[in-house]
Amino acid sequence: WLESWRHKDKKGWFERGTGIAWAADVAGKHRWGVVRTGFRRVVEPRPKAMAYLVVYAELALGLGLVAGFLTPVALVAGLLLNLLYLVLMIHDWAEQGQNAMMALISLVALFAMAWQTWSLDSALGLFP
């Protein structure tokens, strides 16, 4: 997640709206009507807020997982973001290997309760 955040063209996402414009193009051609409708109702009315949400969610997830702070929350959020991306990009499975593996890693870490060993969560006694 930190690499995704680091490589993002933040100026493009925040000032020119390139990320949301790309997603709008993909959603507009999507084979499932619910994706097109959901995008039009939720994302299109507030593109700037959604750009900030996506970019800073990636940063928060990366920091949370690396530091081990609020780890179960970060794992669930990461799983949801990966699943959303998989649904959005369902027509192009060649690009999905990384996201599928990250979703699987989130699931494994979640069910293994990975935050109970080496993490700030463990040191602070969160999520026993």
- The whole-model pTM stands at 0.84
Of the candidates 98, 96, 82, 84, the residue with the CA atom closest to the CA atom of residue 39: 84
**Is residue 89's pLDDT more than 80?**
no
Condensed to tens digits (0 to 9), the pLDDT of residues 95-108 reads 677 888 999 999 99
Condensed to tens digits (0 to 9), the pLDDT of residues 22-64 reads 999 988 888 889 989 999 999 999 999 999 999 999 999 999 9
Of the candidates 13, 45, 32, 17, the residue with the CA atom closest to the CA atom of residue 84: 32
Helix (H) or strand (E) holding 105: helix 97-111
Kindly give, in sequence order, each residue whose CB lies less than 8 Å from that of residue 23, ignoring residues fewer than 6 positions away.
Answer: 39, 43, 88
